[in-house]
């Protein structure tokens, strides 16, 4: 039976690496590729990595013996003491499962996948194509591992689809409101306020997607300002109550007499809360209740968003991955953007629990200043 946690020791690794390094054909294939090329042993450890991919890495030899998630700094690679491939999330890893399929079936495998990585202490999403090819040398099994980064293409396509999806939806709602108000504003209570709120929402969506695109390009800088937390939350609740998500679903707001200021990027903060609420409502059924609660701690605030539904395991393990969604094509940017902005730029954290009897709760933690 294959032992997924097994690793070879330094002496065996050196021997394998030395033998692989003598193969001129492998060196030619690797060094003339613009993409990542590596050789894995049957313990899924690299014994060779092409230098062309890591042009500025002076310590390439230190990566020998590492596994793919450890080389690329996958956020799950250190969750288990045995390293890459051993955490609960690893069971749904595209790269890891591609390697295992090649090991078990002794055949070439090609897959598309994604991972969240940590670069320069910031979370980043990577989309890729991975190809694994088995071969033998001196009676030992090895895997030729090709990885092509397709992030720019995928990122551009995803943001574009999400942008048009969200903005067009909001624009259609606004058009309906304006049409009805032309007939008689009596059909809609506070029609002018609702229309104004819809216009503001569309403008904020445009700014948000611009900020998201800049954050992926590495050119984003948050626009910090002091906001009245209770005022913003109440405004967001009123916005949500006028959407189609909430039909038949109750929203309970608990602020415990909150009257606190928060220094944050206002547009990013609003979109994070709206995304959390939208996800909660879309996961709920008529008759359910979504709960939004805010707690003040010593030097930070916690915002809890709860709904009674429980996520399937596959969803729990991939919920923050960019482009992963249960809602169809062009979705999957909401929870990813929440994690991206909260942890990279707002100096906070986002986590969740999902269990029977308690439902799903996302917890957003932000510093007060």
Mean pLDDT of 8-26: 87
Q: How confident is the model at residue 288 (pLDDT cuts 50, 70, 90)?
A: very high
Chain segment 31-58, per-residue pLDDT in tens: 667 788 899 999 999 999 887 666 655 4
Chain segment 323-353, per-residue pLDDT in tens: 666 555 545 577 888 888 899 888 999 999 9
Mean pLDDT of 277-294: 91
Mean pLDDT of 61-74: 91
Mean pLDDT of 263-276: 90
Contacts for 258 with CB less than 8 Å, ≥ 6 apart: 229, 230, 233, 294, 296
Mean pLDDT of 116-140: 88
pTM of full prediction above 0.75: no
Output the pLDDT for position 330: 47
In terms of DSSP H, where are the helices of 219-265? 229-241
- Is 225 or 329 the better-scoring residue by pLDDT? 225
User: In the beta sheet, which residues pair with residue 115?
Assistant: 126
Chain segment 90-106, per-residue pLDDT in tens: 999 999 999 999 999 99
Q: How confident is the model at residue 299 (pLDDT cuts 50, 70, 90)?
A: confident
Output the pLDDT for position 352: 94
Strands, DSSP E only, in the chain?
36-41, 46-49, 109-119, 122-137, 140-149, 224-228, 250-254, 261-265, 289-296, 300-307, 349-355, 359-367
Q: How confident is the model at residue 85 (pLDDT cuts 50, 70, 90)?
A: very high
User: In the beta sheet, which residues pair with residue 306?
Assistant: 291, 361
Output the pLDDT for position 28: 72
- Is 188 or 363 the better-scoring residue by pLDDT? 363
The answer to whether the Cα torsion of 364, 158, 147, 141 is positive or negative is positive
Please tell me what DSSP assigns to residue 243. S
Q: How confident is the model at residue 10 (pLDDT cuts 50, 70, 90)?
A: very high
Share of the chain above pLDDT 90, in %: 37
Query: Other C-beta atoms within 10 Å of 31: how many?
Result: 12
Mean pLDDT of 170-185: 56
Output the pLDDT for position 155: 61
> What's the chain's Rg over C-alpha atoms?
24
**Has residue 252 got a pLDDT over 50?**
yes
């Amino acid at each position: 039976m294959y032992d997924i946690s097994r690793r070879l020791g330094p002496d065996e690794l050196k021997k394998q690496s030395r033998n692989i390094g003598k193969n001129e054909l492998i060196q030619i294939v690797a060094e003339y590729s613009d993409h990542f090329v590596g050789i894995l042993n049957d313990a899924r450890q690299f014994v060779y990595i092409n230098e062309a991919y890591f042009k500025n890495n002076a310590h390439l030899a230190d990566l020998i013996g590492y596994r793919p998630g450890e080389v690329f700094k996958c956020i799950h690679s250190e969750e288990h003491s045995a390293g890459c491939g051993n955490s609960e999330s690893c069971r749904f890893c595209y790269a890891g499962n591609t390697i295992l399929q090649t090991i078990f079936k002794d055949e070439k495998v090609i897959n598309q996948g994604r991972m969240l990585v940590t670069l320069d202490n910031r979370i980043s999403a990577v989309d890729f194509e991975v190809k694994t090819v088995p071969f033998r040398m001196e009676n030992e099994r090895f895997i030729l591992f090709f990885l092509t980064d397709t992030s720019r293409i995928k990122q551009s396509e995803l943001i574009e689809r999400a942008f048009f999806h969200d903005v067009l939806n909001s624009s259609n709602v606004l058009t309906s409101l304006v049409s009805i108000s032309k007939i008689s504003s009596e059909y809609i209570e506070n029609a002018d306020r609702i229309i104004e709120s819809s216009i503001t929402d569309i403008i904020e969506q445009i700014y948000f997607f611009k900020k998201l695109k800049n954050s992926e390009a590495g050119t984003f800088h948050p626009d910090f300002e002091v906001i009245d937390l209770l005022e913003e939350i109440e405004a967001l609740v009123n916005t949500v109550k006028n959407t189609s998500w909430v039909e038949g679903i109750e929203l309970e707001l608990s602020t415990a007499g909150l009257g606190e200021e928060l220094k944050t990027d206002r547009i990013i903060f609003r979109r994070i809360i709206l995304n959390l609420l939208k996800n909660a409502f879309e996961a709920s059924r008529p008759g359910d209740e979504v709960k939004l609660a805010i707690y003040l701690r010593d030097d930070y605030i916690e915002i809890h968003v709860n709904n009674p539904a429980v996520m399937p395991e596959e969803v729990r393990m991939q919920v923050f991955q960019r482009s992963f969604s249960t809602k169809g094509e062009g979705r999957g940017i909401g929870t990813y953007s929440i994690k991206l902005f909260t942890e990279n730029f707002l100096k906070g954290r986002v986590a969740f629990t999902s269990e029977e009897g308690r439902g799903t709760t996302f917890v957003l933690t932000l510093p007060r200043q």
